[in-house]
């Protein structure tokens, strides 16, 4: 998280990565398993290929998947910024550009706790009726209600600091 000042007002930046230990154990297990499978595919005496794909190509595909998936999760990040135009966020690399909740669109917001696995069925980008959630870790963040009735929930490691920056830039105090 970064905070600073610009034109007398603070700005807020936060970048979150997946940090759940069980997830990383599973991803590293997948990587080890894929390397084991690749070695067993290319070793002499392995079973003949029934798919018509050559052994080195098949082994490369297994390794690419087994190593690519953990690398993809290592790169995944929720990035949030609060500044003069509004709240900007993206789930990189899925969102290559920032989405924005402009101050003129904001009806209200509140700091909230939730159970990601129960209320949103896990972490990541989760769609619900009239809105969606972007969360990477933890169980706190801010729920933004737009004037058009849609809702965006953004996870945060420091939701109080996030809310202070939103209040400072928008002039709207958080709802209780």
For 31-66, how does the pLDDT look when each residue is reduced to its tens digit (9 = 90+)?
Answer: 778 777 777 766 655 555 555 446 677 777 777 777
Query: Are 125 and 133 within 8 A, CB to CB?
Result: yes
Instruction: Please indicate whether residue 29 or residue 138 has the higher confidence score (pLDDT).
Output: 29
- Mean pLDDT of the chain, nearest integer: 77
Calculate what percentage of the chain has a pLDDT beyond 70.
75
Q: What is the pLDDT averaged over residues 105-130?
A: 72
The length of the chain, given as a count of residues: 176
Nearest CA to 87 out of 134, 154, 10, 25 is that of 154
Sheet with 2-6: list strands edge to edge.
2-6, 9-17, 77-83, 86-92, 99-102
Query: Are 81 and 88 within 8 A, CB to CB?
Result: yes
Question: Could you tell me the residue ranges of all domains in the chain?
Answer: 21-75, 86-170
Q: What is the pLDDT averaged over residues 12-20?
A: 80
């Amino acid at each position: 998280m970064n905070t600073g000042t610009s034109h007398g007002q603070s700005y807020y930046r936060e970048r979150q990565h997946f940090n759940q230990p069980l997830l990383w154990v599973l991803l590293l297990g997948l990587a080890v398993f894929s390397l084991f499978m690749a070695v067993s595919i290319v070793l002499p005496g392995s079973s003949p290929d029934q798919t018509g794909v050559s052994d080195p190509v098949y082994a490369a595909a297994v390794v690419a998947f087994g190593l690519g998936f953990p690398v993809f999760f290592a790169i995944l990040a929720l990035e949030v910024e609060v500044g003069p135009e509004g709240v900007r966020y993206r789930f990189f690399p899925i969102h290559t550009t920032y989405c924005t909740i402009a101050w003129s669109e904001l009806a209200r917001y509140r700091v909230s706790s939730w159970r990601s696995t129960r209320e949103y069925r896990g972490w990541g980008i989760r769609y619900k009726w009239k809105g969606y959630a972007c969360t990477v870790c933890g169980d706190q963040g801010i729920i933004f209600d737009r004037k058009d009735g849609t809702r965006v929930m953004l996870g945060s490691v420091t939701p109080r600091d996030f809310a202070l920056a939103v209040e400072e830039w928008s002039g709207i105090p958080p709802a209780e």
